[in-house]
Amino acid sequence: MRLRGRLSQGGVRGPANDCAYAPVVEGGFRSPDEARGEDELARVEAAIQQLERAELYVAAALEVGLEDPFRRRVLEDLRGQVAAASRSLARPRVIDQAFSR
């Protein structure tokens, strides 16, 4: 460790300023909050992909050609809810935008 700067009250030189170490810390490590945010983003992206697959399965079930209008309507509603959930997850949250400044 390089010692520099003014002498302390005891007449001994102290370590360099904390800002001298900043590039080392910033270059090698992520803050826990940043890591958690990236992990959460990856989980949200995985959930969106799963919902898109689910929508395809529901669409395939609709193509079977059910004659019962009630059951067909149930599948159509499910397809709409899955699509809405996917869009909702993909949309940025207002609270996230407010605190990211």
- pTM assigned to the model: 0.56
* Per-residue confidence band for 92, with pLDDT thresholds at 50, 70 and 90: confident
Q: What is the pLDDT, as a whole number, of residue 65? A: 87
Q: What is the pLDDT, as a whole number, of residue 72? A: 94
Over the stretch 51-69, which tens digit does the pLDDT of each residue have?
999 999 999 999 998 899 9
The lowest-confidence range among 30-34, 45-49, 86-90 is 30-34
**85 CB-near residues (< 8 Å, 6+ apart):** 51
Dist. CA 24–CA 85, nearest whole Å: 42
What is the rounded average pLDDT for all residues in the chain?
A: 77
The total of other beta-carbon atoms located within 10 Å of residue 37's CB is 14
